[in-house]
Amino acid sequence: MKEKVIERLIRYAKIDTQSDPESSTTPSTKKQWDLLNVLKDELAEIGLTDITLDENGYLFATLPSNTDKPVPTIGFLAHVDTSPDFSGTNVQPKRIDNYDGGDIQLNDECTLSPNQFPNLKNYVGQTLITTDGTTLLGADDKAGIAEIMTAMEYLVNHPEIKHGKIRVAFTPDEEIGRGPHKFDVKAFGADFAYTMDGGPLGELQYESFNAAAAKVTTRGISVHPGTAKGKMVNAITMAIKFHNFMPQEAVPEKTEGYEGFIHLMNFNGTIEEATLSYIIRDHDRNKFEAKKEYFRMVEQRIKEEYGDNAITVELEDQYYNMKEKIEPVKEIVDIAKRAMENLNIQPIVEPIRGGTDGSQLSYMGLPTPNIFAGGEYMHGKYEFVSAETMELAAKVIIEIVKLFEEETIE
């Protein structure tokens, strides 16, 4: 099983599937179809049925039940796109067998070192898949895809393992927050699901941020600087003033756990017009709403100084904390936890400091916790994943479906 997940990850990683937040299509990039079509053929080769790939890039398949018990239909999901934060073109994964705990030379100029990335010490003796130092790896979430594929293939080849109906979904555009936007929950037909989209071994998550995006636009008046006194209004200065009102400690680099943040993602400007793009995050709904209201308050202060037309703040909610929808069916988390314990994996139940497709799907009627896929330091050139962790993730999938079958009363 270990070699299967390695082979699949490396093969999938070499296919460029970066999503594009500026695109209005679904998928946001045509190249996501390249992997979707590969996976569609591979699902058929493995022996899954009811394979559908719709016009929006949502790939569904079924592993039929092989038990007479009325077992709930379980879904497993992963996303095909990789982050637009760093290059995903010409990915050349490197395999390091029996990692010795020292520096890994990715290329002549780039070293993956435990001095800078201390989690590497957790993988001594294991097989690591890394980048070549020029691209991201794409283990987020191609490791999840490899794990689901490998688990399904194993179940097909081992019919003695009894299970209910299993649904598989591979989706586009998760990295730009649109993964579930056109996901047909009714057509998928699962009672609940799991995303294989977490990080290190043991992660099990059913709490996510509440999330919003904010776009701030300031408008000024450009005048020759030699004759600007009393006439020029500098939109850049106004935008800086707006940002200086933002809390200095509630930023990603200074927060952890359940602490929320306001994160400036992009700043562009001229004297005539400047734009700031933020994301707003908090696990607590009241604190989340208060952060959005603070944006409105600062907007009003800028208007009082510069005029009503000087600034516009656009706020858009992106997803909400999935805990509210999963807690009523908490047994799906408990079974995943027991599946890990049966495999001698210590479950790490903690909130996601981000979102997964499950954040939105849970509010669409499909409760969907998140399980580890193995990647570390994702979205950049220092990304890596352990093959042993990927193998265990595939085994967790198998153990979950076994437990549901065993605990269903005929």
Please identify every residue annotated as catalytic: 81, 174
DSSP letter (8 states) at residue 389: H
d(CA 336, CA 241): 48
Peptide bond preceding 27: is omega within 30 degrees of 0, i.e. cis? yes
Beta carbons within 8 Å of 325's beta carbon, 6+ residues apart: 362, 363, 367
Burial class for 304, CB neighbours closer than 10 Å (0-12, 13-18, 19+): exposed
What stretches of 178-319 show up as alpha helix (H) in DSSP?
Answer: 185-188, 235-244, 285-306
- Determine if residue 141 is labeled as part of a ligand binding site: no
- Determine if residue 175 is labeled as part of a ligand binding site: yes
Task: Look at the block and give the residue holding tokens 């691209």.
Answer: 135
- Determine if residue 132 is labeled as part of a ligand binding site: no
Point out which residues pair with 311 in neighbouring strands: 218
Following DSSP, what letter does each residue of 136-189 receive, concatenated? ---HHHHHHHHHHHHHHHHHHH-TTS----EEEEEES-GGGT-TTTT--HHHH-
Task: Look at the block and give the residue holding tokens 């299993």.
Answer: 166
> Residue 357 belongs to what H/E stretch?
helix 357-361
Beta carbons of 88 and 137 less than 8 angstroms apart: no
Annotated binding site: 79, 140, 175, 197, 379
Residues of the binding site for Zn(2+): 79, 140, 175, 197, 379
